[in-house]
Amino acid sequence: MLVLSDASASGSRIPLGGYLTGYPLSESGKYVLARTWAAPEMSRPGCVWTHSLLIDFADLARLGSAVGLLKCFQRPAGGGGSGFASRLEVEVTRISTAVPPPDLGRVGRWVSALYGKPRSRIIAEREGPDDDGLVVAIWMQQWPRLRRAFRFCSFAADDRSTSADVFDLQLMDAGRSSRPRIPEGVIASAVERGDWVDTLLDDLKLPARSDLRQFLRDVGSDVTSGRAAMVPLVHLHVALEPNAGPLRLADAISELDRLGSAQGRMGRAAAARVVLSRLDLDDARLFDFALQQVRADRDLLGIEPAIVGRALLRWKPYLLADGLTHEDPLYRAVEAALPQVDTDDLVAVIEAVPGAAAAVLSSRRDVLERASFWRVTSIDAFSLIRSLDADQDHSALIVRALAEAGRDDSSQVVVERFGIGPVVTALSGMDVAGIRSRMGWVRAIAQRTNELAEGMVDGRLSHRPLLLILAEILDPDAVPNSVGTDPWVAAVERTRTTDDVSAEDLLAAFLFNRARGWRSESTGRLFFLSVQRLHEALASERLTSEAWRIAKQRLPYGSVWRDWDQCEKLRHAVVDNFINRELPPIEFGTVVDDGNLWKELVDLAADSSRGRRYLDKVRTALRDGHKRWWIERAELIDRKVT
């Protein structure tokens, strides 16, 4: 410090405003910024005054501009040095000082030499007092580690370097020949300008609009190669811009690698972050680089785990099939990414790497709800379904996806695993045509007649189109009715008639057939739900062959002369059932809405003494009601039964 506080050269005329010298005191953890003035008032020729500011490395790193430091300099007056040992307070500002456009040419030559020849002593010609500010601007542009190691002098005639401490930049007295006095020096103007210089100059010209300094601060913290790192870091900064292509980024990474494996960890992390987050960088080599970086660090280089995980699913999905251990940093990345990835993208991963299915499904069960997943031919659907532990809502969505995928072959396995509930729920969201296209599923639930009965009674199976299709394939006596209301009555009464005439006629034939059997505990209500429609269909001869097949099974034989009259057979069947089984009289009184049809039923019942006794009970039941049409029907019986 004593040597560097002395005059930088003998025989040279020191500028009136003095000159600046900057150098580190590494052992003390301080940086010295000094201004030196000529001291002609002193008796000994060549005397100078030097005011040195000792700045902690930590404080130096906080500064965005040296303006506050430069304002602290004071030229001593007279022969006293008292008062210069006091502590100074400098306001920390992050606002950098811009370099005036007319000076950018000279500054460009200086930085081109400084960073283009990082192992050399750079010399340039001093032109005036403003050069102090230009040198300081270059110094302030550097990241903290480089800044605290940078040695400069803004006015010299001889090399101020020593064998141990080499000056990076020295501005020479324009009136003296500089090259012979610094034989190892490189003249700045003789160095070819690099393609990276403009990036540095843009930052020096408009620092407020540039993010270069913050980038250098972020990635330069672990770089120990000094000025040699500036060009690779500038190239990396440019390569990380959104419009930069993969080739430029690959070149920048290679250049950074040449600094050494122990250098530029933060720079590599920045590059890895961009590689992993930019979908347009379709380059497997870059991803391999990024993956290598993050996998070597337990904290994933500080990159958000979900970003790493999404890139991994895109580029290396086979790693999921290999089985990542909890100790692998990539396990945490995949775990964070899976909840955020689009379901279709996950299906694509499984299609490409079937072995990844277990890892994906452990976090994203909703993949099972996609038909595209079940279309993946390599998936063992049966084994997977048997292993599932899903609630009714989720399993219904799975069934819907299976049905859409055309996996009717799995219907039996699904019913065995979950029962008919999920299948009923899925089918209940379809119309008749949709259900008919999924007949494998309908047949699977049709085999579970006890569960069908439970679903009909508790309301889970109350979708009219599904009931219509079940009536096509079930035997009318198949569904049990051990106690209480007939399941078919409970289900049909909860629904509304559709516009599908043929299907509704078939259902009527089905319910009539069931009513004529001995399985139901609600025969009268089954007749109410079927007889009038079936009678109309027979009268108009609109029954389909299948509906007629079901109805005629339990129609009685007619007289030889009137065997053609199917309506008459139907009326006889209804009357005989009510009388012979002694069904609730009020149910006969309300079995059809059509007055003419009901009158014909009464006429048939009145033909026998047993029938008249039954009609008497019907009359009594109707009179106990308060509806006008009930009373009218009771009065009709009065006229038939005296």
Q: What is the CA radius of gyration of the chain?
A: 48
CB 31 within 8 A of CB 149: no
Q: Output 390 or 311, whichever has higher pLDDT.
A: 311
* Other beta carbons less than 10 A from residue 483's beta carbon: 6
For the cut 80, the answer to whether the pLDDT of residue 590 exceeds it is yes
Read off the DSSP letter of residue 557: P
Query: Which pLDDT score is estimated for 509?
Result: 98
Q: How confident is residue 175, by pLDDT bands cut at 50, 70 and 90?
A: low
pLDDT of 382 above 70: yes
pLDDT greater at residue 365 or residue 81: 365
Rounded mean pLDDT of 495-523? 96
Residue 575, pLDDT score: 97
Look at the chain and count its residues: 642
Mean pLDDT of 59-82: 84
Helix/strand/coil percentages in the chain, nearest 5:
55, 5, 40
How many whole angstroms from its chain centre is CA 342?
6
Q: What is the pLDDT of residue 9?
A: 66
pLDDT digits (tens, 9 = 90+) for 181-206: 677 789 999 999 999 999 999 999 99
| pLDDT one-digit tens code per residue, 9-64 | 666 788 999 999 999 998 999 999 999 999 888 878 888 899 999 999 999 999 99
- Residues contacting residue 237 through CB under 8 Å, at least 6 positions apart: 199, 212, 215, 216
The share of the chain scoring above pLDDT 90, in percent, equals: 68
Whether residue 177 is predicted with pLDDT greater than 60 in this model: the reply is no
Mean predicted confidence (pLDDT) in 474-483? 95
Query: Are 368 and 398 contacting, i.e. CB atoms less than 8 angstroms apart?
Result: yes
Phi, psi for residue 377 in degrees, rounded to 5: -65, -25
pLDDT at 8 over 70: no
Q: What are phi and psi of 121, to 5 degrees?
A: -85, 120
The residues near 71 (Cβ < 8 Å, ≥ 6 apart) are none
DSSP state of 555: P
Unique residue bearing structure tokens 């049809």 = 597
3-state helix/strand/coil string of 316-334 = CCHHHHHCCCCCCHHHHHH
Percent of the chain with pLDDT strictly greater than 70: 96
603 CB contacts (<8 Å, ≥6 apart)?
640
Domain boundaries along the sequence of the chain? 19-77+90-190, 212-343, 380-438
Partners of 152 in the beta sheet? 22, 169
Q: Report the C-alpha gap between 336 and 331 in whole angstroms.
A: 9
Higher pLDDT, 162 or 252: 252
Per residue in 195-239, pLDDT tens? Answer: 999 999 999 999 999 999 999 999 998 898 999 999 999 999 999
- Mean pLDDT of all residues belonging to the chain: 91
Burial track 601-633 (b if 16+ CB lie within 10 A, e otherwise): bbebbbeeeebbebbebbbebbbeeeeeebeeb
Residue with tokens 């407020």: 208
Spatial CA neighbour of 147 closest among 71, 205, 216: 216
Q: Which of 564, 50, 197 has its CA nearest to residue 555?
A: 564
Residue 170, classed as helix, strand or coil, is strand
Whose CA is closest to 220, among 111, 141, 133, 118?
A: 141
Given this model, what pLDDT does residue 70 score?
A: 92
Can you tell me the distance from the alpha carbon of 135 to that of 9, in angstroms, rounded to the nearest whole number?
Answer: 19
Residue 78 has pLDDT above 80, yes or no: no
Q: Among 159-163, 285-289, 478-482, 540-544, whose mean pLDDT is lowest?
A: 159-163
Q: How far apart are CA 240 and CA 238, in angstroms?
A: 5
Query: Which tokens is 467 given?
Result: 């009931």
- 116: which 2 tokens? 């283009």
pLDDT digits (tens, 9 = 90+) for 366-375: 999 999 999 9
Cα-Cα end-to-end distance for the chain: 139
Q: Report the alpha-carbon distance of residue 94 to residue 103 in Å, rounded.
A: 22
Q: In this predicted structure, what is the pLDDT of residue 321?
A: 86
Question: 549-571 pLDDT, tens per residue?
Answer: 999 999 998 655 566 789 999 99
Q: For residue 20, what is the DSSP state?
A: E
Cα-based distances in Å from 505 to 80, 435, 477, 495, 533: 120, 18, 18, 15, 7
Tokens representing 122 are: 């750079």
**pLDDT confidence bin for 178, thresholds 50/70/90:** very low
Residue 515 contacts by C-beta under 8 Å, 6 or more apart in sequence?
523, 524, 526, 527, 530, 577
pLDDT in tens, 414-435: 999 999 999 999 999 999 999 9
The DSSP bridge pattern shows strands 121-125 and 30-38 to be unpaired
The per-residue pLDDT for 180 is 45
What's the CA gap between 277 and 275, in Å, rounded? 6
Dihedral class, residue 167 (left if φ above 0, else alpha if ψ from -120 to 50, else beta): beta
Read off the amino acid at residue 317. Answer: P
Neighbours of 212 (CB within 10 A): 18
> Which tokens sit at 17?
């405003």
In this prediction, residue 181 carries a pLDDT of 62
Report whether 52 contacts 1 (CB < 8 A): yes
Kindly report the backbone phi and psi dihedral angles of residue 600, in degrees, each rounded to the nearest multiple of 5, phi listed first. -65, -35
d(CA 541, CA 563): 15
pLDDT for the residue 282 = 79
Position 534 pLDDT exceeds 70? yes
Number of other residues whose CB lies within 10 A of the CB of residue 72: 13
pLDDT, tens only, 90-133: 887 878 899 999 999 999 999 999 999 999 999 999 999 999 99
The 3 state secondary structure assigned to 484-524 is CCCHHHHHHHCCCCCCCHHHHHHHHHHHHHHHHCCCCCCHH
Kindly report the number of other CB atoms within 10 A of residue 265's CB atom.
Answer: 17
